[in-house]
Structure 1
Amino acid sequence: MVRRSQSCLRRVNANGQRWYVVQTRARSEETARFNLEAQGFEVFLPRTLRTVLHARRRRTAMNALFPGYLFVRLDLERERWRSINGTIGVVQVVMGSSLPLPVPDGVVESILTYVDAEGIARLDRDLAQGQTVRVTLGPFTESIGPLMRLDPNERARVLLEIMGRAVEITLPRRALEAV
């Protein structure tokens, strides 16, 4: 979990640190995070809750928001960033031609604002049952209707008018935005 402070929300701190993307092995984000933090790196692994149905039982599990990736804050001139590539659970630092590519300013900081006290990114926090939403992805893009229900498995039910009838459609929460 990332400790959220004012210095964490600044784009580049006084030491010249920036956020970089690290690719991890399949389903090894937590292992990579643990090992990078043990080496003294500041790591941000955004996670989300997902409801999983297995053997007719539902359970809620924490999954990486970006499977196979996490963020590391570095100062390339001061820190030994090449050691990241040899860390257990890590495939590589995402590179440009010869240096790691920094994440564009404001991206990680924006995600950090959606992280709650348990370290879970609540990207749907701005949605509320009954409000009017716009569909941003899929075949119903730009359709507008009331949000009927938010399901715990990152899905939402929206009432849309299709061919003159009101139809309740189930969509991923990420496909909606508040109007």
Structure 2
Amino acid sequence: MVITPEVPDSAKWYVVHTQSGHENRVAITLKTRVESMGLTNNIYEILIPTQEKIKINKGKKITIKEKLFPGYILVRMIVTDDAWLAVRTTQGVTGFVGTTDQPTPLPENEVKAITAFGEQAAPKFQSAYTISEAVRIIEGPFTDLLGTISAIDEAKGKVIVLVSIFGRETPVELDFLQVSKI
């Protein structure tokens, strides 16, 4: 969330600790406070690092944005007494990462790595399954057979299920949508 497009070199990224699950609300509140207090020359950008993942919900694939660091946001700012106080007293903020007197800036290469990681092209599946969980195959040539998950590949959205065929455990690779929990 960009507040001011022109950012001087002296502005650094800082990690702000928030109440978990309130990152979006804190970012919106902080942006509003910065604009109303006239601190756009000190606080330039607020970032909530996220990554797109594919989640299976009721048999359908949906894309969600998952927070990389729940309970934390990144703020690009020049630390002054007013800017520090504005961020620190925003509802939902519990503090800066660093010492109690002075926040510690993030190195620029770490910020670039975080943003690059969040912008990876191929979203990953988010599995609702765990290894050794019992499942029923609901689609394909092994429909209605029961098995146990032996491996999960979230990148491909596949599971390997051990199915008992002719008295032997046989591994079968299936899509997340082809199995259901028992």
RMSD across aligned positions (CA): 3.5
- Going from structure 1 to structure 2, the CA distance change for 1:58 and 1:81 (only over 3 Å counts) comes to same
The percent identity for this pair of structures is 24
User: Displacement of 1:105 after TM fit?
Assistant: 2.8
Instruction: Say if 2:52 and 2:124, in contact at 8 Å, map to a contact too.
Output: no
Amino acid at match of 2:126: N
Q: Which runs of 5+ in 1 are unaligned?
A: 116-120, 128-149, 159-166, 170-179
Aligned-partner Cα distance in 2 for 1:55–1:152: 14
Q: Which amino acid aligns with 1:153?
A: Q
Report if the CA contact (8 A) 1:49-1:153 is conserved.
no
Task: Calculate the TM-score normalised by the size of structure 2.
Answer: 0.54
Does the 8 A contact of 1:2 with 1:43 survive in 2?
A: yes
Q: Offset at 1:103?
A: 0.7
Task: State the 1:79 CA deviation.
Answer: 4.6
Q: CA deviation at 1:68?
A: 0.9
The letter for the 2-side match of 1:111 is I
Decide whether the 8 Å contact of 1:74 with 1:81 is kept in 2: no
Gapped regions of structure 2 (runs ≥ 5) = 35-42, 128-153, 159-170, 174-182
1:34 maps to a residue whose letter is: I
Structure 2 counterpart of 1:153:
126
Are residues 49 and 103 of structure 1, via their aligned partners in 2, closer, same or farther at CA, if it must alter by over 3 Å? same
TM superposition outliers: structure 1 runs of 4+ over 3 Å: 51-59, 150-154
In the alignment, the residues of structure 2 paired with residue 104 and residue 168 of structure 1 have an alpha-carbon distance, to the nearest angstrom, of 46
Report the alpha carbon displacement of residue 29 of structure 1 after superposing the two structures with TM: 0.7
Q: Distance in 2 between matches of 1:80 and 1:106?
A: 24
Which of the two has higher C-alpha Rg?
A: 2
Give the residue type in structure 2 aligned to 1:122: E
**Number of aligned positions between the proteins:** 125
**Against the structure 1 CA distance between its residues 151 and 61, is the aligned structure 2 distance closer, same or farther, given a 3 Å change threshold?**
closer
Instruction: Report the residue type matching 1:66 in the other structure.
Output: F
Q: Is the 8 A contact 1:20 1:72 kept in 2?
A: yes
Q: Is 1:22 aligned to 2:16, yes or no?
A: yes
Distance 1:43 1:168 in 2: 46
Aligned residue in 2 for 1:39? 33
Once the two structures are TM-superposed, the CA of residue 69 in structure 1 deviates from its matched residue by 0.7
Structure 1 Cα separation of the partners of residues 110 and 61 of structure 2: 33
CA distance in 1, matches of 2:95, 2:72: 10
Q: Which residue matches 1:74?
A: 77
- Give 1:54 shift: 4.9
2:86 is aligned with 1:83: yes
